[in-house]
Structure 1
Amino acid sequence: MNPDLDLVLERVIRAPRAVVWDAWTDPARLAQWWVPAPSRCRVERLELRAGGAFVTRLSDGGEFGPHLDACFLDVEERRRIVFTNAIDSTWRPARPAPVAMTATITLDDHPDGTDYRMLVRHGDPDARARHDKLGFADGWGTVAGQLAALVEGS
């Protein structure tokens, strides 16, 4: 972790790692928590493998519009998901708004369930600062909370 380039959030989710993994890998379940409520998410492509597409759309009450057009870089079953929006779902270089990033989601066993870690890497300090100022902790923290609410007690 490079504090000049990276943002990180961690939390314990009180559910087994397999249950958290399933909420990430099932498009219908992912759509339930991937964007902050009351916005809605539609998962268009979820090809969970290195090189696979990750495309979601977002609605704030109206039509669905673009949200994320990304590519999975690495997937380690029930342990780690790495994706980037710097390459789109067709493997073309991208200039995503508001920032290009590479996210690593890590799931580890914890005595109370799953240690859920979100590490988001940026290409330069300005991109990191922009993402932080736009509400990284609030937004990513909110969706992690929504994920926890979905799976805890499952």
Structure 2
Amino acid sequence: MIDTELDLEVQRVIRAPRDRVWRAWTDPARFERWWVPAPARCRVEAMELVPGGAFRTLISTDDGAFVPHMDACVLAVDDGARLLFTDALTGGWRPSSQPFMTAEITLADHPDGTAYRAMAMHRDRTDRDTHESLGFLDGWGTVVAQLADLVESS
């Protein structure tokens, strides 16, 4: 359930079967194709989709070197339906030096394909507002559109 004081979310119907959307989230090669807003590029450094698993990505902007983007810990995986991860921890349940959010990605069958929901949960209003001012809606909206383009054309 969303807490509008602390959470941000993006919802969209993606016109592709749920298993195709799930594969785009869980296959590193597919994930790299949509996870960051183009023209930036993503590289998956670790994607251990089990509770306690590491989930690390790198980003390259302006064709520069890849630098750290996300260092998170997977909390829960419900195959084909839900992925929960946080940057409050890193792989192996290690505490993070800069906790910011927990993300919940949910997929559900929809008559037109897949109902997609990405929610970012924050510890306080300041973190939520910071995330929003950093461009959450534009950034996460852009990558969801890139995800849709990838899976709808497959």
Q: Classify the TM-score, shorter chain.
A: over 0.9
For residues 89 and 138 of structure 1, the distance between their equivalents in structure 2, rounded to whole angstroms, comes to: 28
**Contact residue 15 and residue 114 of structure 2 kept, 8 A:** yes
Give the match for residue 146 of structure 2.
146
For residues 60 and 92 of structure 2, the distance between their equivalents in structure 1, rounded to whole angstroms, comes to: 23
TM superposition outliers: structure 1 runs of 4+ over 3 Å = none
Give the match for residue 103 of structure 2.
103
**Contact residue 52 and residue 92 of structure 2 kept, 8 A:** no
How many residue pairs get aligned? The number is 152
What TM-score do the two structures reach when normalised by structure 1?
0.96
Q: Report the Cα offset of residue 62 of structure 1.
A: 0.8
Give the match for residue 76 of structure 1.
78
Please provide the CA RMSD for this pair. Answer: 1.0
Give the match for residue 29 of structure 2.
28
For residues 147 and 95 of structure 1, the distance between their equivalents in structure 2, rounded to whole angstroms, comes to: 30
Q: Report the Cα offset of residue 95 of structure 1.
A: 3.4
**Match of 1:117, as an amino acid?**
R
For residues 26 and 120 of structure 2, the distance between their equivalents in structure 1, rounded to whole angstroms, comes to: 19
What TM-score do the two structures reach when normalised by structure 2?
0.96
**Match of 2:40, as an amino acid?**
S
Q: Report the Cα offset of residue 49 of structure 1.
A: 1.1
Give the match for residue 89 of structure 2.
87
Q: Report the Cα offset of residue 94 of structure 1.
A: 1.5
Instruction: Show structure 1 runs of 5+ residues with no match.
Output: none
For residues 151 and 95 of structure 1, the distance between their equivalents in structure 2, rounded to whole angstroms, comes to: 35
Instruction: Show structure 2 runs of 5+ residues with no match.
Output: none
